[in-house]
Amino acid sequence: MAVISRTVLGFAAGIAMTIGGAALDPAQAAEKVTWNWAIYGPPRTVTVAFEHVAKVVKEKSGGNFTINLRYNEQLSDAKDVLDGLKVAAFQGAMVAYSYAPAKTPLQGVLDMPFLPIDNLVLQAKVQDQFQQWPPVKEELARWGAVHYMTVLLPQYEFMGIGKPPVSVEDWKGMRVRALGGLGDAMKMLGGVPTSVSAPEVYTALERGVFQAASFPFTYSFVSYKLHEVSKWYTMGMNLGIVHNSLNVNIDAWNKLPPEYRKMLEDAREEGYALQRAAYDDADKKAFPLFDKRKLEAVKITPDMREKLIAIAGKPVWDKWVADMEAKGLPGKEALSLVMELIKKNGGSGS
């Protein structure tokens, strides 16, 4: 359950204090706060930003503000973290919206395949700004959650067993792990998508439950050791992402002392920069591992990618909008907003 212990240091909050004539740092005089964040999967490249944030707030608060990162679904199944935030079982969680799409349907627009978001700087700006849209904020608030930061993810590629997909037609009948809009895209290509949480993918691929799994390229394939049981991987498909956020419990956020909230906000951009650097380093380590295993690189040509977009990109966007509108949700407005934000922040938006 949530653990937030508070100790007022000194004679009174807000009163400047001195010891031996030296003024105390305000953070040293603040409450003691302990947060737990539910993180699915092991410590890995994608968790670099979380680790940085936890380190910064502990150091700047003199140890008074502690964030414990609980990995490997210690606190909650990956599909149920929003439920945990709602009942304040923990104060923060890494949320993959596609694991339980019915809970936050408008988030699905960021899972659309082939969106023109071609770099991590643009990704952070678009997603953070999208999360401030009132309908999305209200959707998260129903789960007692508020967006803190985007979980930056490289574009998804596939890694798999069996026959490599060297043509668009080769995807027909292939069972693949692909979530949300990415799964819809694969269905358009004749594939058979399945939804499996990241920690379960290695075993499922090894046993042949599906022939290929989509993951952020390249770090995630190595993090989950898929290269050890695979025969090939795609390059240049740039399928999209299964977007994640680090959300926090609203009440915990609102109760947080202002100086601690500022620490979190200041650490966010630093975390993004470290995350981007970590992915660059991961690529340098991953390719030698792929070569050692003699994995075949299936390079997607620009012409093939254009064909993929025509068959399985824009049609998925249109279907998603229609489905949302049929449910009385502003799907058209959501997609238009994403495209506007892409343009506003330097992307093509087309």
Q: Considering only 4-13, 33-42, 79-88, 138-147, which range has the smallest mean pLDDT?
A: 4-13
At residue 114, does pLDDT exceed 90? yes
The predicted model gives 336-341 an average pLDDT of 97
At residue 95, does pLDDT exceed 70? yes
pLDDT digits 0-9 by tens, 23-60: 335 455 479 999 999 999 889 989 999 999 999 999 99
Question: What single-letter DSSP state applies at residue 244?
Answer: E
Residue 349 confidence (pLDDT)? 58
Residue 235 confidence (pLDDT)? 95
Tokens of 138: 């209200």
Residue 242 confidence (pLDDT)? 87
At residue 157, does pLDDT exceed 80? yes
Residue 6 confidence (pLDDT)? 34
| Rounded Cα–Cα distance for residues 146 and 140 (Å) | 6
- Where in 86-155 does DSSP place strands (E)? 92-96, 145-151
| Chain mean pLDDT for the chain | 90
Tokens of 53: 């944030």
Instruction: List phi, psi (to 5°) of 98.
Output: -70, -15
pTM: 0.83
pLDDT digits 0-9 by tens, 186-205: 999 999 999 888 889 999 99
At residue 10, does pLDDT exceed 70? no
At residue 19, does pLDDT exceed 60? no
- More confident site: 348 or 65: 65
Helix, strand, coil share (%) of the chain residues, nearest 5:
50, 15, 35
Tokens of 97: 């919206």
Query: With pLDDT > 70 as the criterion, what percentage of the chain qualifies?
Result: 91
Residue 16 confidence (pLDDT)? 34
- Predicted confidence band at 350 (pLDDT cuts at 50, 70, 90)? low
- Predicted confidence band at 87 (pLDDT cuts at 50, 70, 90)? very high
- Predicted confidence band at 296 (pLDDT cuts at 50, 70, 90)? very high
pLDDT digits 0-9 by tens, 216-243: 999 889 989 999 999 999 999 999 998 9
At residue 330, does pLDDT exceed 50? yes
Residue 317 confidence (pLDDT)? 95
The answer to whether 155 touches 216, Cβ cutoff 8 Å, is yes
| Rounded Cα–Cα distance for residues 243 and 162 (Å) | 28
Residue indicated by tokens 């003199």: 62
pLDDT digits 0-9 by tens, 166-189: 999 999 999 999 988 899 999 999
| 174: Cβ contacts below 8 Å, ≥ 6 apart | 162, 165, 190, 191, 192, 211, 212
Give the domains, in start order, of the chain with CATH numbers: 18-100+120-151+243-281 (3.40.190.170), 156-241+284-344 (3.40.190.170)
3-state secondary structure of 142: coil
